[in-house]
Amino acid sequence: MSKAHSTTAAPGNLEQLWLSEAIRLREACGERLEDREANRLARAAGGDLSRRIQTRALWLASRDGQLAALEHYQQGARLALAILLLLALCSGAALAFGALGDGQRPVNLLWALASLLGLNLLMLAGWLLSWLLPGHTSGTLGQLWQWLSTKLARDAQTAQLLPALMLLLQRQRLSRWGFGLLSHGLWLLTLSSALVMLMLLLASRRYGFVWETTLLPNESFVSLTQALGAVPALLGFSLPDSQMIRASGSAALLDDSSRQAWASWLLGVLLVFGLLPRLLLTLLCLGCWQHGKRRLSLDLSLPDYQMLRTQLQPSSERLGISDSAPQLTPSTAANANQQASSGALLVAIELDPQRPWPPALPKTVADAGVLDSREQRQHLLEQLSRFPPARLAIACDPRRSPDRGTLALLGELARSAAATRIWLLPAAPGEALDSERLSDWHQALAQLQLPHADSAPFNWLETGHD
């Protein structure tokens, strides 16, 4: 039987921390998880307490479906991001069309600037002011992305994942940088799309430019134009002189040089006051996100994680005392050090004391005895975690009922070996097996997908084939 709970791709560090936090929240809400096997595998994997907690959480999440839910959520998040990127591209093109119009009427420069930069500057000011507020806000775009991600995931368990991610990120204040990266990146794409569309429209149509005001004096527009165009002029964009600015207040300019000067000025203002701030903030958020993600870790001071310390990192192990090696035959122990799984092992579960055991075994097959107590079972499982056999045969007495505890033990033992077979022992001489109980064994083993037979699998144990 192959290893259970394997995934197509190993989760990264962020995903493992995310799952650990999700499992912690489940247990904090009072949900009791059967984690005996998960704890045993975590202890066998070794490492510090954080690594063992992540190993345990990964196994539990794989068993209970949260790992699949995480993959669904990530797929939904990527699809939601693709939708937002497409909307950003379309919104940028719409901004350019709204600012310039169809070319039949002169372009009002004040309205064009308000169309291209007004909402962007308001959102940017809101993001900057959010740093002064207590707590964390994901912003409108962040909330929209979260909502779309959850809807597109279509998995009931994804509702448990988002709070876990938020708690994990907020400890390092990463959520602000992550949502900032999303917001600034989308606005950067929107303004880039607007700039490209603006250039295409200006290159393919003939526009006139005017400024119109009733309350403000003419000189105020001259000062505003020169102030906004000062920095773009340093980058090579045109800056209309005072005479050209005053001349544009009454009617559309007709000469090509004036049209080109205003078009260049408009492009420069959009680039300097729209794109460049968003580009710099996107890079800042990206750098802080990457730096913080590398430092991301579990908060081991939480009571929920402290309770796991005694189970995953026993005091004897913290003092540097290791368990002794399992009592296997010399050939099995030697092979176990060379590869992940090797050797052959026979073990029996709850046999009648009157039955002679063990049978005569080939020299290459180790005998693990009879498992009668919980301590014996746990000790063997710990040994198999460190020295997994290539072939494991489990002898069962079909006169006993296949209760849930026995079947759970069979599953744990089978997951600890590369290949497993069940040996349903024949009845003693002069006795007969109950056909209904034997049928129950066959059905239970079929559900576990464990091969079984009533003949001794000694040849398979010794050679690997029948």
Mean pLDDT, to the nearest integer, of 35-47? 81
Stated pTM of the model: 0.71
Higher pLDDT among residues 243 and 191, named by residue? 191
What pLDDT sits at residue 333? 34
**Look-up of token digits 């056909």:** 435
User: Which residues 6+ apart lie within 8 Å of 39 measured at CB?
Assistant: 56, 311, 312
How far is 49 from 53, CA to CA, in rounded Å? Answer: 6
Give the end of a domain, one of 273, 294, 315. 294
Examine residue 75 and state whether it is found in any structural domain, yes or no.
yes
State whether 339 and 287 are in the same domain: no
What is the rounded average pLDDT for all residues in the chain? 82
Give the end of a domain, one of 248, 266, 294. 294
Examine residue 38 and state whether it is found in any structural domain, yes or no.
no
Beta bridge partners of 85: none
Phi, psi (deg, nearest 5) at residue 35: -120, 15
State whether 227 and 363 are in the same domain: no
State whether 150 and 268 are in the same domain: yes
Return the half-sphere exposure (C-beta side, CA atoms, 13 A cut-off) of residue 284.
10
How far is 361 from 193, CA to CA, in rounded Å? Answer: 76
Domain that holds residue 390: 330-463
Examine residue 437 and state whether it is found in any structural domain, yes or no.
yes
Share of the chain above pLDDT 70, in %: 88
Helix (H, G, I), strand (E, B) or coil at 249: coil
State whether 183 and 78 are in the same domain: yes
State whether 178 and 265 are in the same domain: yes
Examine residue 346 and state whether it is found in any structural domain, yes or no.
yes
Domain of residue 451, CATH code: 3.40.50
Helical axes 139-153 vs 158-171, angle rounded to 10°: 150
Examine residue 41 and state whether it is found in any structural domain, yes or no.
no
Domain count, the chain: 2
Is residue 387 classed exposed, middle or buried when 0-12, 13-18 and 19+ CB atoms within 10 A define those classes? buried
Examine residue 185 and state whether it is found in any structural domain, yes or no.
yes
Strands 391-396 and 452-453, how do they pair? unpaired
Give the end of a domain, one of 294, 322, 354. 294
What pLDDT sits at residue 332? 33
Residue 174 near residue 293, CB atoms below 8 Å: yes
What pLDDT sits at residue 278? 96
Examine residue 28 and state whether it is found in any structural domain, yes or no.
no
State whether 272 and 398 are in the same domain: no
State whether 106 and 225 are in the same domain: yes
Nearest Cα to Cα of residue 205 among 97, 64, 311: 97
pLDDT in tens, 408-423: 888 888 888 888 999 8
Predicted confidence band of residue 90 (pLDDT cuts 50, 70, 90): very high
One DSSP character per residue, 365-395 reads EEEEEEE-SHHHHHHHHHHHHHS--SEEEEE
State whether 342 and 408 are in the same domain: yes
State whether 99 and 145 are in the same domain: yes
Higher pLDDT among residues 463 and 278, named by residue? 278
pLDDT in tens, 274-303: 999 999 999 999 999 999 998 898 888 887
Mean pLDDT, to the nearest integer, of 141-165? 82
pLDDT in tens, 239-272: 887 777 777 765 544 577 888 888 899 999 999 9
Residue 306 has pLDDT above 60, yes or no: yes
State whether 337 and 266 are in the same domain: no
State whether 276 and 141 are in the same domain: yes
Examine residue 167 and state whether it is found in any structural domain, yes or no.
yes
Predicted confidence band of residue 379 (pLDDT cuts 50, 70, 90): confident
Mean pLDDT, to the nearest integer, of 461-466? 80
Is residue 97 classed exposed, middle or buried when 0-12, 13-18 and 19+ CB atoms within 10 A define those classes? middle
Mean pLDDT, to the nearest integer, of 181-191? 95
State whether 359 and 242 are in the same domain: no
